[in-house]
A and B are shown apart, each in its own frame.
Chain A
Amino acid sequence: GNSVTQMEGPVTLSEEAFLTINCTYTATGYPSLFWYVQYPGEGLQLLLKATKADDKGSNKGFEATYRKETTSFHLEKGSVQVSDSAVYFCALSDGQLTFGSGTQLTVLP
């Protein structure tokens, strides 16, 4: 079956630091890949997506590139802000939407 593996958290960074959250996946076929963000007590919000190999998704300064050869979709941001503190979920979809376990990010001022 499909699966998503995220780097274990929590991750704590200072404001303006560089962020990388690793995500690798296992799937048959060619899934679409997503990053979702969840703020405390809320549902999930789409952050960015990529639907085919070598696509780069980007939003709000976050980026991730669909790497088929390494089955990865790592999330990056060049300069994090306190407001980026949240839980980030990597997900894949081939009709069914499968999530990783999430990575808690805390950004300190």
Chain B
Amino acid sequence: EAEVAQSPRYKITEKSQAVAFWCDPISGHATLYWYRQILGQGPELLVQFQDESVVDDSQLPKDRFSAERLKGVDSTLKIQPAELGDSAMYLCASRRYIGTVGETEAFFGQGTRLTVV
């Protein structure tokens, strides 16, 4: 069964360092999301891609976060410099189809647990 792949599973980094996360969506899924989930809360959207284009990055802290999906397949989320408050689970999700009728579900990877010390 196809899965969304994320790496690394766990990352510990020092404050002010750079950190990057990678996501490989399910083949054929045009839509890709990055979410941040703080412990005990629901996922919050950081950025949404349709193929290689950013559809929504209104909640992405652009002074320190960046995301790219250059060939419309896999994606990288970067934080530079990391701050203590960035400690969270970073989830990647993909979905095959979105539209006005009968949207398909999103499939999630296992996430990257980031700890900033």
Contacts and interface: CB of A to CB of B under 8 A. Distances in A.
Contacts of A45: 108
A43 B42 contact: no
Given A89-B42, A97-B45, A46 B111 contact: no
B110 interface: yes
User: What DSSP secondary structure best describes chain B's contact surface?
Assistant: loop
B29 interface: no
Contacts of B85: none
Interface string A87-100: 00100011111111
A103 to B, nearest CB: 10
Interface in B65-97: 91, 93, 95
A98 B108 contact: no
B105 to A, nearest CB: 5
A51 B108 contact: no
Interface in A61-109: 89, 93-102
Contacts of A102: 40-42
A32 B110 contact: no
Nearest to A48: B105
Nearest to B108: A43
Nearest to B91: A43
8 contacts: A43-B91, A43-B108, A44-B108, A46-B106, A93-B103, A97-B93, A99-B43, A101-B42
Interface of A: 4, 29, 32, 34, 36, 41-46, 49, 51-52, 89, 93-102
